[in-house]
Chain A
Amino acid sequence: MLEIKNFSKSYTNGKKAVDNLNLTVEAGEICGFIGHNGAGKSTTIRSVVGVLDFTEGDIFIDGHSVRQEPLECKSVTAYIPDNPDLYEHLTGIQYLNFIADIFGIDESVRTEIMKKYGDLFEITSDLGSLISSYSHGMKQKVAIISALIHKPKLLVLDEPFVGLDPKAALTLKNIMKEMCKAGSAIFFSTHVLEVAQKLCDKVAIIKQGSIVAFGRMEELVQDSSLEEVFMEVTENAK
C-alpha cells in the first residue's frame, strides 16, 4: 500500500534531512516510525502525504506515484499532523463537511460516519462550536474524524496520541486495528514505544535521516523490548 523508494529530502544548503530511505507497508499492516526529535520523521511523513516536495526517489501509494499522480494518492490517503492546526473560524461540523465535500462523500454516508466517530470520541455535542474554542485534544479528535470520513486505504499519523485523553487514545487504537482488519494500511510516528510495540506489525527506526532498523516487530524485538532495541540501534548506528 505504501512504498517509499530511495527517498531523500535535502535542504537548500545541500544538507540531507532524509537520506535514501526505503520502506514498505502492506495493506492490513500497522507500521510504527520512531526516532529522536529532528531525525526526519515528520519530513518523511509530510512528503508521503504531499505537503512537502521532494526530488530524489519516489513514494508510491496504492501503486500511484506521489510525484506523478498526487491526486490519486491523496484520494486514498488520510493524514493527521502532530499539531492539529484546523480552520479555527469554522465549527467542528462545518470543518467535517468541508473535508467531506472535497472527497465528494455522499450526504447520508458522511452523516453516518460523523455520528459514529463523533459518538465514539464523545465530541458530537461539541461539533456546533467553533474550533477556536476547542482544546488540543478536541481538535485532535476532529482531525481524526475528518481523516476517517472517506475510509482511507492509507492512514498516516504524526504523533497521534499526543493530547488525547486515555479513553480517546484507546478508541483510536481500536479504530486503527479495525481499519487494518478491513484492509487499510497505517503508518504513524510516535515517541511512546510501549504503544508502538503493542500496536505495530512493523517498525522503522530512523536516525539522522537514515533508517537504522526496519522489519517485523517480533523479529526486531524478539525477547527484549522495543525501548531496548531502539536505544541499542540508535547508539550503535554511526
Chain B
Amino acid sequence: MRNKLWKLLKIQFLNQSGLNQFRYENDKKKKGQAIAVFIGVMFLVCMVVGLSFLMGFGYGVMGMAEIIPGFALTMVSLFTLIFSFVKTGGYLFAFQDYDMLMSLPLSVKTIVTGKFLYMYLNNLLFSLAVMLPMGSAYLLSVTSLSFAGKLAAGLMWIVAAALAPLLPMTIASIFGTLAAAIGSKSRFKVLVQVVLMLIFLCAIIAFNIFVNTMEIEDHGKFLHQLEDVTQMIQQQMHRFYPISALFDAAVNRQRILPFAGFAGLSLGIYYCFVFLVAKKYRAINSALMSKGKKVVYRMKKQKGHSVITALVYKEWKRLLSSAPYMLNIGVGMMLAVIASIACLVVGKRMLMEDQELFGVVRDCRYGIPFLVAMFLTMSCTTSVSLSLEGKNLWILLSLPLNWKTILKSKMAFNMVLLLPAALICSVCLGITLELDILSFLLFFIVLFAVVSFSTVIGMFFNLCFQKYQWENETEVVKQGMSVTLGILVNMFLQMILGGVALALSFIIDGRGVLTGIALLFFALSAIIYFALLSGDTSRIKA
C-alpha cells in the first residue's frame, strides 16, 4: 500500500503543484506564471515565518514565553480548520479523477489516505511556517529550561509542527463528509452542502464569541484569582482548543505523557476517520455523482435575453453549481451581511444600554465601512471566474463575442452580487449607529467604490494568472494566485484606509474623508477598468 500511496501522492503533486509546468512547459509566459506563483508563495511563507517569529519573540520579551506553545498550536489549528473546511467537498468527494482512480487496482483506503494526505501536505507548509519560528522564539526566550530540557522541547516542537494540522483537518473533514453525505440524499446537493458547512462555520464563530464573552464576564474574577495574565491567556486558549493544554504541559513542564496524548489523539482520530470514510466512500461518491431524477421536458416558447444578461445569468448558475466556489467566494459577503444584521438586532440593544460604549462606537464610525468592505471584498468573483471557465472556455471563444464583452459581463456579475449586500450592510449599520442621511449615503458610496475597485483588481489578477487546466475547482478558488492576491491586496487596502479614515475623522469632518476615499477608489477603478479593456488584442489566452 505504501508504494502505491507514495505514487498517488507524487502524481497529485506533479499534477497540481505547477512543478511540471515549470519543468516541461514550452510557453515562456506560462512558465513565467509558474515561477511567479512559486515566488508569490515563497513570499507569503517568508511573511508568515517572520511574523510568527516576531510574535513569539514579543511574547518572550514580555515574559510570557509559556503561552507560545499553546498559542502557536491554536493558531495553526484554527487556520487549518477553516481552510480545510471548504476543501473537503471537492477534494475527498466527487473529484474529477474519481472514476479513473477507482478503476485502478488501488484500495479505497489508499485513495482516501492519498487524498487526505495531499490535503495534509498543503497545510503542513503553513504549520511549519508558524510552529518552527514560534518554537525558535520560545527556545530563545524561555529561561526555566535547562539545555537538555530545551533540546527535548525543540524535538517536541518539530514533531508537533508535523502533527498540528492532522486533528483540525480531520474535524473539518468529518463535517465536510457529513455535509456531503446528507447533501447526497437531496436534489439540491450543492445548496444543502453549503448551508450545512455555513452552519458549522457560524457555530465555530459563535463558540469563539461565547468563550470570549465568558472571559469578559469573569475578567475581574480571573485577574483577581490568578493575578497572572499569562495564565489567563493560557486558560482561554485551553478552553477554546483543549488539545493546546496537552502541548502546553508537554513543552512547558517537560511531560511526555501529555505529549503522547496529543500525538495519540491526532493520529488516532485521523486513522479512525480514514477507516470509517473508506467503508462508505463508494456509497457517498455514487450518491453525490448520481444523475438525479429525470425531469421530462416539454418544449414551450423560449424567451430571449440580451447578451450581457445571458452571460451574467450563466455566471450566477456557475456560482450556484459549486460548493467550494460558493463557500470560498461567498463567505465574506455572507459574513458581512450576517454581522450587519446581528449588529442591528443585538448590537443596537447593547449600545443603547451602554451609552459610553455607544459614544465610542459613534466616534469610530468613519472606520466602520472599511471593516465591512474587508469582508465584502473577500467575495470577489472576478478573481476566479475567468479561470473557472476551464474546459468550457472554447464556448466563449468560438461565439461571436468580443473579449471585452466577456470581461464586462464577469465584472457586472460581481457588482450585481455585491451591491445589494453593500446596501443591506449600509442600512443596518446606518440604523444601528443612528447616522444622518448624508453619512448613510456616504457609507454606501464608499462600499460601492470599494466593491468597484475589488471587481476590477480581481479581473486584473485573473487575467495575469489565467489557469484553465485544473482537476478540481479548489485549485482555482482556494489555491489560485489570483484569488490570494485579490484577497490580500483588498484586505491591506481596507486596513490602511480604515485606519487613515479613522485618524483623519478626529481632525477634519469624517464625511469629507469618506468622500475623498470614495473618489480615490472610483478614480482607481476607472483607470484599471479602461486599462483592462484597452487595445484590440484579446487578453484571454486559451
A contact set with B: CB distance below 8 Å = 11-13, 46, 49-53, 71, 74-75, 77, 79, 81, 83, 85-94, 96-108, 110-111, 114-115, 118, 124-130, 132-133
- The answer on a CB contact under 8 Å between A107 and B392 is no
Which of B71-79, B297-305, B328-336 lies at the interface? B297-305
- The answer on a CB contact under 8 Å between A126 and B306 is no
- The answer on a CB contact under 8 Å between A90 and B314 is yes
CB-CB under 8 A from A115, the residues of chain B are 299
- The answer on a CB contact under 8 Å between A86 and B297 is no
| A78: nearest chain-B partner, CB-CB | B398
| B397 is an interface residue with CB less than 8 A from chain A | yes
Give the complex CA separation of A111 and B299 in angstroms. 8
> Closest Cβ of chain B: how far from A199's Cβ, in Å?
23
- The answer on a CB contact under 8 Å between A114 and B302 is yes
CB-CB under 8 A from B306, the residues of chain A are 101
- The answer on a CB contact under 8 Å between A71 and B297 is no
Given contacts A50-B397, A97-B302, A101-B309, 14 further A-B contacts (CB under 8 A): A12-B26, A74-B399, A87-B318, A88-B321, A89-B318, A89-B320, A92-B297, A98-B314, A101-B305, A102-B400, A111-B299, A124-B298, A126-B294, A127-B297
Give the complex CA separation of A88 and B398 in angstroms. 18
Give the complex CA separation of A98 and B315 in angstroms. 11
CB-CB under 8 A from A102, the residues of chain B are 307, 310-311, 399-401
| B2 is an interface residue with CB less than 8 A from chain A | no
| B317 is an interface residue with CB less than 8 A from chain A | yes
The contact string, 1 if C-beta is below 8 Å from chain A, for chain B 24-52, is 00111100000000000000000000000
Please tell me the number of chain B residues within 8 Å of chain A, measured between CB atoms: 45
- The answer on a CB contact under 8 Å between A133 and B391 is no
| B542: nearest chain-A partner, CB-CB | A51
| A89: nearest chain-B partner, CB-CB | B321
B contact set with A: CB distance below 8 Å = 26-29, 291-292, 294-307, 309-311, 313-314, 317-318, 320-322, 390-395, 397-402, 538, 541-542
Give the complex CA separation of A128 and B295 in angstroms. 6
CB-CB under 8 A from B321, the residues of chain A are 88-89
- The answer on a CB contact under 8 Å between B297 and A93 is yes
- The answer on a CB contact under 8 Å between B302 and A87 is no
Given B297, B303, B309, B391, which contacts A107 in the complex, CB threshold below 8 Å? B303
- The answer on a CB contact under 8 Å between A100 and B302 is yes
| B294: nearest chain-A partner, CB-CB | A129
- The answer on a CB contact under 8 Å between B28 and A12 is yes
Q: List 15 A-B contacts (CB under 8 A).
A: A50-B398, A85-B392, A87-B392, A97-B310, A101-B305, A101-B306, A102-B400, A103-B399, A104-B307, A105-B304, A107-B302, A124-B298, A124-B299, A125-B297, A125-B298
- The answer on a CB contact under 8 Å between B302 and A128 is no
| A110: nearest chain-B partner, CB-CB | B302
Question: Secondary structure at chain B's binding surface: helix, strand, loop or mixed?
Answer: loop
| B307: nearest chain-A partner, CB-CB | A102
> Closest Cβ of chain A: how far from B96's Cβ, in Å?
11
> Closest Cβ of chain A: how far from B326's Cβ, in Å?
12
Give the complex CA separation of A125 and B322 in angstroms. 26
> Closest Cβ of chain B: how far from A163's Cβ, in Å?
16
CB-CB under 8 A from A46, the residues of chain B are 394
CB-CB under 8 A from B393, the residues of chain A are 51
- The answer on a CB contact under 8 Å between A87 and B397 is no
| B391: nearest chain-A partner, CB-CB | A85
| A103: nearest chain-B partner, CB-CB | B400
> Closest Cβ of chain B: how far from A67's Cβ, in Å?
10
Give the complex CA separation of A10 and B309 in angstroms. 37
Given B303, B304, B320, B398, which contacts A79 in the complex, CB threshold below 8 Å? B398
CB-CB under 8 A from A98, the residues of chain B are 310, 313-314
Pick the 9 closest A-B CB pairs, nearest first. Answer: A128-B297, A89-B321, A101-B310, A133-B291, A74-B400, A85-B391, A75-B400, A13-B26, A128-B295
> Closest Cβ of chain A: how far from B386's Cβ, in Å?
15
Indicate the member of A89, A105, A106, A114 with the most B CB atoms within 10 Å: A89
- The answer on a CB contact under 8 Å between A89 and B317 is yes
CB-CB under 8 A from A77, the residues of chain B are 398
Give the complex CA separation of A83 and B307 in angstroms. 25
CB-CB under 8 A from B542, the residues of chain A are 51-53
Decide yes or no: A97 and B297 within 8 Å by CB, A85-B391, A89-B321 being known contacts.
no
Give the complex CA separation of A12 and B27 in angstroms. 5
- The answer on a CB contact under 8 Å between B402 and A71 is yes
| A72: nearest chain-B partner, CB-CB | B400
CB-CB under 8 A from B310, the residues of chain A are 97-98, 101-102
Decide yes or no: A124 and B297 within 8 Å by CB, A87-B314, A101-B306 being known contacts.
yes
Give the complex CA separation of A77 and B401 in angstroms. 12
- The answer on a CB contact under 8 Å between A126 and B304 is no
- The answer on a CB contact under 8 Å between B397 and A51 is yes
CB-CB under 8 A from B313, the residues of chain A are 98
Give the complex CA separation of A53 and B537 in angstroms. 10
